[in-house]
């Protein structure tokens, strides 16, 4: 390369590099832009500079701005989950079909129970249990999304 063209070549390379570096380390205040930029992430990270709960998400869900809501990005979209008595938005679903000790103990103490309460099985358990005699039986499993969360707990939201 000619010495005359070297500064222009270096300037072009630097300009091509800057947008990628800026996008990677950019701090976002718009949840939709954030999710489009990151694609999929379990929870907002250091690149999120907006409020913990963007007001438009609470409004879209018809909740107060201080509601207990989690949001994340999946495939470039914003998903939201409202915490509830039997819903833990921050935990990935447990999908094991082998009953844990608490479920087995419940069935031993309550033979033939039509269901095992979530307080016993665990609020992050995607498998629903009942007791056949004193034996725990998995009788239903909630769908789990690609990130490992119960699909029914999360919904896409847009402003």
**What does the pLDDT profile of the chain (159 residues) look like in tens digits?**
444 333 334 344 343 333 333 445 689 999 999 999 999 999 999 999 999 999 999 999 998 877 899 999 999 999 999 998 778 888 899 999 999 999 999 999 999 999 999 899 988 889 999 999 999 999 999 999 999 999 999 999 998
In the numeric block, which tokens belong to residue 37?
């930029």
pLDDT digits over 71-103, tens only?
999 999 999 999 987 788 888 999 999 999 999
Write down the pTM of the prediction: 0.74
- Domain range annotation of the chain: 94-141
Report the pLDDT value the prediction gives residue 67, as an integer from 0 to 100: 84
Q: For residue 154, which of 41, 71, 60 has the smallest C-alpha distance? A: 71
Burial of 15 (0-12, 13-18, 19+ CB in 10 A): exposed
Report the pLDDT value the prediction gives residue 102, as an integer from 0 to 100: 96
């Amino acid at each position: 390369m000619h010495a005359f063209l070297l500064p222009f070549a270096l300037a072009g390379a630097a300009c091509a590099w800057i947008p990628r570096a800026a996008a990677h380390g950019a701090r976002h205040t718009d949840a939709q832009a954030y999710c489009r930029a990151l694609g999929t992430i379990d929870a907002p990270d250091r690149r999120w500079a907006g409020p913990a709960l963007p007001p438009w998400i609470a409004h879209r869900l018809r909740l107060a701005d201080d509601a207990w809501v989690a949001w994340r990005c999946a495939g470039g979209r914003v998903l939201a989950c409202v915490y509830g008595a039997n819903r833990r938005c921050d935990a990935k679903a447990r999908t094991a079909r082998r009953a844990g000790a608490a479920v087995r103990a419940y069935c031993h103490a309550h033979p033939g129970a039509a269901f095992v309460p979530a307080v016993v099985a665990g609020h992050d358990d995607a498998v629903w249990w009942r007791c056949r005699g004193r034996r725990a039986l998995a009788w239903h499993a909630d769908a789990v999304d690609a990130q490992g969360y119960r699909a029914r707990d999360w919904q896409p939201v847009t402003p």
